[in-house]
Chains A and B, each alone.
Chain A
C-alpha cells in the first residue's frame, strides 16, 4: 500500500514537472514570436486588439472589415475589436488586465473598469510622450480641460472622448401629468420645493408612482466627494478644503429628513431601497417625476426613447467633476506591443469623421443612409449595429440624427463652457495606504447608504448608528489620509 502510494506521488510530481516545462516552453515561444513581430513592424501591418464596452453587435465583424480597409491604407494597421457588455465589463477587464491578456486599446472610465485605480496599478501605459508625438490631432480638437482633468499623478494614461464636460442634474417630469394638473415646472428647484407637486399626484393618481426612485439615489447636496458615493467630501464652496464626513453635516441631516418625509408620504415606492430598475414605469408612463443627469437637448432624447413627452428643469449647477471628465476614455494597455500604432489609431479615431462614423453608425447604405451632408437616418439593419456613441471617442464629429437641430454640437460646446470647476477637480485620492479601511468602510456604507438616502429609515435614528459604525471601520483614518493628500495637492497646484 505504502509503496504504491509513493509511486503514485512520484507520478504526480513528474506530471507537475512535465506540465511546468510545457507551459514554460509555451511562454518562451510567445515571447519569441512577439520579438519577431516587433522587428518586422516597419513593413508588416500591425493588428491592434481593442476592448470596448457595450453589447456585442451582430454586424461587428462586417463593420470592422470595412474599418480595416481604411486604417490599413491610412496608418498600416488593422483592428480586432472585442465588445464586452456593460454589466460584465469591469469584472472581465479586471481579470484580463491582472492576468496579462494581450491587448492594445481598452475602454476605461470613472464608472466602469475604474481609470484612476487601474492607472495606479499599472494597467495602462503612460501617454505623455506618445500624445505629443502621435496625438497632435487629439490635443488640437479636445477641450484642454479633458486632458488636464484626467491626469493621474501628473500624467495622462487615457484619451478622453470629446463630449459633455460638466455634469448637471435635472428634475424630469412626465409632461402629460404636468399638463393635466397644470403644474408649474419652474417651481421645482430644491428637494423641498417638490412637495406640493408630488402631493397633488399622490392624491389624484393612485396608480402612478409620484417619484420614480432607485436604490442608488442620492439627494443633491453641496459636496464634492473624495470617492463617489462614499461619505468623505469637501463643501462645494470650500475655501479651506477641509474634508468632512457628510453624514455629520447639518445639510445632509435636513435633506435626508425631507427624503424621509417623501418616503413616509408614499411618494416613492416602499421598496425603493432594493429597487434596481424602474424601466417598467418608464415604459408604461406610470411615473410623474425623477432626477437624471442631463446633456444638451436631452429632453428630445428621452421623449423619443419613451414615446411620450418628457421635460426637465435644472436641479443643480453644471459642475465639472473628476468623474464627469473621466466619463469615457480609451487607454493603451501597459503590455501593448504597438503603443505607437495604437496612439496613431486613437488620433485618427478622434479626428477622422469617416472612421469615427463608420465605427459608430456602421456602413452607409446598410445601417444608415444620408439625409444630407451630416445628417443620417437609420435603416432597418441599424439594429444589428447599435453602438454606444459616447464610448468610442470624439462625439462631436459624429453625424446628426434626423430631428437633431443643426447647432447640436454648438450647444454642447456652450454647455461645456458653462461648467464650473468642482473644488477637487484634478485631485485623485491614492487609497493604497488605507485599503483595509476602505474595504471595511465600504461594507458599512453598503449597509446604511441606500436605506438612509432613500428615506427608508429615519435619519434621526440611523445617522448616529451609521456614523458610529463608520468610525469603528476607520473612516477617520481615511479622512485624515485624504486631508493629507489634498493639502499636498493644494500646495503643489497653488489652489
Chain B
C-alpha cells in the first residue's frame, strides 16, 4: 500500500518530465516491446488459422529449433557470417575516422556559409534510397555504357565486367557505403564540436597551440564520449547488414555472392518463395540476440576503462 502511494506521489511530483517521456515510451512500447511476443513464431511452424493472428500463433505446431537450422546447415553459413561481420567492422572503423575528420574540417572552415553548402552536399546522399544509389553505381560500372569502361576505352585499356568480378566488390561496397553514410554521421560529431566551450580554444591559442594541437588536445578528447556511444550503438547492429546495399548495388549478380551475400540477403533469397515466416523470425531473433550480447560485452569493456563514456 505504501509503495503504491509512493508510486502515485512520484508520478505527481515528476508529471511534467514523465509527460515528456510518454510519447517516446509509448512508441517503444507499441513498436518494440509488444512485437517481442512475436518471437515465439521463431519456434513454431506458422500456419494460418481462420480466427486471426493470435489464434494462428497459438494453433501452430511447436518445432523447437528447427527454424534455425537453415542458417547453419551449409558452408554458406561461414561466408554470410564473415561477410556481415567484416563489412560492418570496416564500416564502423573507416566510417568513424572519416566522419570525425569531416566534422573537424567542416568546423574549421572559416567561411561559415560555404561550410553549410559542403555540409548539405555531403548530407544529401543519406536520403537517397539504395535502389537509386544502385543505379548511380550502375551508371559508372555498366559494361557497355558505364562511365568507367568508357574512360578505360578512351585510354585504350580493356573494359571490365564489373558485375562478374568478385575481387573488386569489397572496395566498391565500402566506397558506396561511405559515400552515403559519412555525411550524416559527421553532422552528429559536428554538433558535438559546436557544443565545445570556445574559451578552451581561446586559452589554447594564447598558450600558442597550433590548429593541429588544438584539434588533438581539445576537440578529439571532448568528442570521445559521443564517439564511444555512436560506436557502441553501431556494434549492436553488427549482425544486421544493410539489405539494400548488398542486394541492390551489386544488382543481385550471382557471380558476386561470395563477397556480397550477407545474413539478410541469404534469408531473403532462401525464403522469398516459401514465405515461411517462422524461419525469417528465427533469423531476426538470432541477429538480435547476438547484437544484444555484443552491446552488453562492449559496454562492459568500455565501463572498465572509462565509466562516463559507457552507455549504462
A residues engaging B (CB < 8 A)?
Answer: 3-4, 7, 10-12, 15-16, 19, 27, 90, 94, 97-100, 114, 117-118, 121-123, 227, 269-271, 273-274, 334-335, 431-432, 435-440, 442-444, 446-451, 456-457, 472-474
Contact = CB atoms under 8 A, between A and B. Distances in A.
Interface of B: 6-7, 10-11, 18, 25-26, 29-30, 33-34, 45-56, 66, 69-70, 73-76, 142-144, 161, 163-164, 251-255, 257, 261, 266, 269-277, 279
Contact of A12 (B29, B48, B76, B266): B29
Interface of B is mostly: helix
19 contacts: A10-B7, A11-B7, A12-B29, A15-B25, A16-B34, A19-B29, A27-B52, A100-B56, A117-B275, A122-B48, A122-B49, A269-B144, A270-B144, A274-B253, A435-B274, A438-B274, A440-B270, A473-B76, A474-B74
Nearest to A10: B7
Contact of A473 (B48, B73, B255, B273): B73
A27 B34 CA distance: 16
Top 9 A-B pairs ranked by shortest CB distance?
Answer: A439-B270, A100-B52, A274-B251, A122-B48, A439-B70, A436-B70, A335-B50, A447-B257, A334-B50
Contact of B48 (A7, A27, A97): A97
Contacts of A437: 73
Contacts of A122: 47-50
Chain B CB within 10 A, most for which of A90, A435, A438: A435
A317 to B, nearest CB: 27
A440 B73 contact: yes
Contacts, number: 146
B273 A114 contact: yes
B163 A273 contact: yes
Given A271-B143, A273-B163, A438-B274, A472 B74 contact: yes
Contacts of A450: 253-254
Contact of A432 (B45, B253, B254): B45
A350 B18 CA distance: 60
A396 B56 CA distance: 39
A335 B254 contact: no
Most chain-B CB neighbours within 10 Å: which of A19, A97, A440, A472? A440
Contacts of A451: 164, 253-255
Contacts of A446: 252, 254, 257, 269
Contacts of B11: 7, 11
B48 A121 contact: yes
B266 A274 contact: no
B258 to A, nearest CB: 8
A16 B48 contact: no
B1 to A, nearest CB: 14
Given A117-B274, A447-B257, A473 B53 contact: no
Contacts of B48: 97-98, 100, 121-123, 334
A273 B271 CA distance: 21
A324 B34 CA distance: 43
A457 B143 contact: no
Contacts of A114: 273, 275
A431 B273 CA distance: 11
Contact of B254 (A10, A118, A439, A448): A448
Given A99-B53, A122-B48, A447-B257, A431 B274 contact: yes
